[in-house]
Structure 1
């Protein structure tokens, strides 16, 4: 049975749409893996309104990349580099294929555990997306480790099952809730020591 002969709802299962930038309207497929919970359109629209529509030159890190949609949204809006990390090899293969289909050379993928990646990675990032599977996240260890990789004027986006407390040196700048998902944008607090 060809994809065109399937009902519209079936054809669009495991497909998401980029909502802004040069790839606006492009549909991307993603791997159907337990725990992959793509960020809904309305939440992404709010996030990128908070971040600004033009991310020209920004470097981004998407831990627990899953669908990779946040990375591709950022690249669509001009980010210079999108680093996508996921521990599932099938997801990473799909991210590589999606990047190739979009013709981008600004995508860097890593098949790695988030904690291990953060322990090895030394680059600072302008925007970090943190959206782990809710039942497995060790927030007390994860948030401080991610904060160490955040550039001085960087922003950290977090999706969580409940409102979060910012780790030392960061503050929740914006936050909202959609359904069962709490989403937050954090930045360095005024009291944070300069690096």
Structure 2
């Protein structure tokens, strides 16, 4: 049960069937949060998420986090539970963003902000914040990861910031900024996930 292709819906509408994500560890450990099933929404599997947050364990506490393609919020809410000080979730889909706000209220997460917008347009603006940790887990096969990575270098990253990038494992070479160092990399089924550090 790897996070392979996007989880396609079995309903006729884009937003009807409800699913759930589970917070693995931290303050909200075991908590399940409802998520909308929508085309292109691919919540990170628990197995991948557990590996990722094991990598991030020394860095997550008190970090300022940005989740660029938030979707169900699986990564952002996990970071919140594990002690991140501020989390910004960016999600283009209006209904998905509304659900993120609903889950924010469920967790009383005053330090979490949901922005309903196009992340590439958002990152193309002058940076109004600097982040220690960035999650990039976009819809596959659209070249969105490369574009987001390039835009992050416009002042959005703190020194030695960590950037998590998830993409299709069969993609040819992904263009990553030269100043970034690959720290960790794994492949699970059709998904490749990597952790970079901005130097």
Answer with 1 or 2: which has the greater Rg.
1
Instruction: Indicate the larger mover: 151-160 or 119-128.
Output: 119-128
SS of the residue corresponding to residue 195 of structure 2 reads strand
Query: Hey, what does 1:126 align to over in structure 2?
Result: 132
Length-normalised TM-score, structure 1: 0.85
- How far apart are residue 53 of structure 1 and its match? 6.2
Give the unaligned 5+ runs of structure 2.
1-16
After superposition, where does 1:162-173 map in structure 2 within 5 Å?
162=169, 164-173=174-183
SS of the residue corresponding to residue 128 of structure 2 reads coil
- How far apart are residue 143 of structure 1 and its match? 1.5
In structure 2, distance between residues paired with 1:155 and 1:80: 15
CA pair 111-13 structure 1, distance change in 2 beyond 3 A:
closer
- 1:74-131 CA distance string (max 9 Å, x none): 0001111110001111011000000100111011111110111112233110100000
Query: Hey, what does 2:72 align to over in structure 1?
Result: 67
In structure 1, distance between residues paired with 2:133 and 2:72: 17
Structure showing the higher helix proportion among its residues: 1
Q: Which among 155, 161, 169 is matched to residue 168 of structure 2? A: 161
Query: Hey, what does 2:143 align to over in structure 1?
Result: 137
Q: Is the contact between residue 62 and residue 82 of structure 1 (CA under 8 Å) also seen in structure 2?
A: yes
CA pair 188-54 structure 1, distance change in 2 beyond 3 A:
closer
In structure 2, distance between residues paired with 1:171 and 1:179: 24
SS of the residue corresponding to residue 104 of structure 1 reads coil
- 1:36-72 CA distance string (max 9 Å, x none): 1111111111111101167221110001100001000
Query: Hey, what does 1:38 align to over in structure 2?
Result: 43
Q: What CA RMSD, in Å, does the superposition of the two structures yield over aligned residues? A: 1.8
- State yes or no: 1:175 paired with 2:181: no
CA pair 39-22 structure 1, distance change in 2 beyond 3 A:
same
Query: Hey, what does 1:93 align to over in structure 2?
Result: 98
Give the unaligned 5+ runs of structure 1.
1-11, 190-195
Query: Hey, what does 2:12 align to over in structure 1?
Result: none
Q: Is the contact between residue 157 and residue 186 of structure 1 (CA under 8 Å) also seen in structure 2?
A: yes
Query: Hey, what does 2:11 align to over in structure 1?
Result: none
Larger RCO of the pair (alpha carbons < 8 Å, separation 6+): 2
